[in-house]
Amino acid sequence: MSDGYYISKKTDDICDDVCGQGSKAAATISRLKCVLRGFDIRTLLCLFILIPFAILAIYLHGQKLTYFFRPLWESPPQPFRTLPHYHTENATMASLCSLHGWGVRDSPRRVYDAVLFSNEKDLLTVRWKELYPYVTQFVLLESNSTFTGLPKPFVFKTNKDQFSFVEPRLTYGNIGGRFIKGENPFVEEAYQRVALDKLLRIAGIEEDDLLIMSDVDEIPSAHTINLLRWCDDILRSSTSSLRTTCTLSSTTSTARAGERLCTVTVRKTRYAHFRQSDVLLSDSGWHCSFCFRYISDFVFKMKAYSHSDRVRFSHYLNPNRIQDVICKGTDLFDMLPEEYTFKEMIGKMGPVPRSYSAVHLPSYLLDNAEKYKYLLPGNCIRERQTG
Ligand SMILES: *[C@@H]1O[C@H](CO)[C@@H](O)[C@H](O)[C@H]1NC(C)=O
Ligand SMILES: *[C@@H]1O[C@H](CO)[C@@H](O)[C@H](O)[C@H]1NC(C)=O
Ligand 1 and 90: CB distance under 6 A: yes
* Mutation choice for ligand 1 from 90, 96, 223, CB with most ligand atoms inside 8 A: 90
Q: How far apart are the first and last CA of the chain?
A: 55
Contacts of 109 (CB under 8 A, 6+ apart): 208, 209, 210, 228, 229, 230, 266
Q: Do residues 139 and 195 make contact, with C-beta atoms less than 8 angstroms apart?
A: no
Which numbered ligand comes closest to the C-alpha of 177? 2
The candidate with the shortest Cα–Cα distance to 193, out of 277, 306, 109, is: 306
Residues with a CB atom less than 6 Å from ligand 2: 144, 151, 176-177
pLDDT per residue of the chain (387 residues) written in tens, 0 to 9 = 444 444 444 444 444 444 445 566 677 777 767 666 666 777 777 677 888 777 777 777 766 766 666 666 666 666 667 778 899 999 999 999 999 888 999 999 899 999 999 989 999 999 999 999 999 999 999 999 988 888 999 999 999 999 999 999 999 999 999 998 888 888 888 899 899 989 999 999 887 788 888 889 888 889 989 998 898 876 554 344 443 333 332 222 222 223 334 455 544 445 555 555 566 777 788 877 788 888 888 888 888 776 667 777 777 888 888 888 888 777 777 766 666 666 676 766 666 667 777 788 888 989 999 998 888 887 888 887 654
Nearest alpha carbon, ligand 2 atom 4: 176
Atom of ligand 1 nearest to the CA of 88: 13
Which numbered ligand comes closest to the C-alpha of 89? 1
User: Rounded to the nearest whole angstrom, what is the distance from the C-alpha of residue 86 to the centroid of ligand 1?
Assistant: 18
d(C-alpha 387, C-alpha 383), whole Å: 9
d(C-alpha 313, C-alpha 114), whole Å: 34
What are the structural domain ranges in the chain? Answer: 2-68, 81-287, 293-375
Q: Do residues 338 and 76 make contact, with C-beta atoms less than 8 angstroms apart?
A: no
Predicted model pTM? 0.74
Instruction: Please name the residue ranges forming H helices in the chain.
Output: 2-19, 24-45, 51-68, 70-73, 93-99, 121-131, 155-158, 185-202, 222-230, 295-304, 319-328, 342-348, 363-367
Nearest alpha carbon, ligand 2 atom 1: 176
d(C-alpha 234, C-alpha 242), whole Å: 12
Atom of ligand 2 nearest to the CA of 153: 14
